[in-house]
Amino acid sequence: MLVDEKNNDIIWRAMKRAQLPAVKEPVGLIRQDGKRPDGTTILPWSRGKPLAWHVAVPGTYADDHVGNTTMEKRASAILAATNKTNKCNKLSATHIFTPVTV
């Protein structure tokens, strides 16, 4: 199991533990790039919209991140969250979107 999948499972289990109905990889909910978010609540979360999330675990030693992480510790997480938010901006009409970076 990949790291992203493990972290997504942790979030999904936390929702279940809090008795918040949620599903992983919801069918019919598509991002701009054709992929689905990692999960969504079934009931409204805020402002009448359900919560959708996507987990990202960026490698701090990856070529894309080394330059930034030498300047700021959390730079790779911030960049990953920004990228996920940009990819999922289409969902904002129907869902509250939250990127989860570890």
Domain that includes residue 74, residue range = 30-97
pLDDT band at 51 (very low <50, low <70, confident <90, very high): very high
- CA–CA gap between residue 30 and residue 64 (Å, rounded): 26
Q: How far is CA 28 from CA 31, 39, 49, in A?
A: 10, 12, 16
Answer yes or no: is 58 within a domain: yes
Answer yes or no: is 91 within a domain: yes
Mean pLDDT in residue range 58-70: 66
Q: How far is CA 12 from CA 18, 38, 99, in A?
A: 10, 9, 14
**Structural domains in the chain (count):** 1
Answer yes or no: is 11 within a domain: no
In degrees and rounded to multiples of 5, residue 38 shows phi and psi of -70, -30
**Percentage of residues of the chain with pLDDT beyond 70:** 83
Average pLDDT, the chain: 82
Answer yes or no: is 43 within a domain: yes
Answer yes or no: is 6 within a domain: no
Answer yes or no: is 54 within a domain: yes
Answer yes or no: is 1 within a domain: no
Answer yes or no: is 62 within a domain: yes
| pTM, rounded to two decimals | 0.76
Summarize pLDDT for 21-48 with one digit per residue, the tens.
999 988 888 877 778 888 999 999 899 9
> Given a cut of 90, is residue 17 above it in pLDDT?
yes
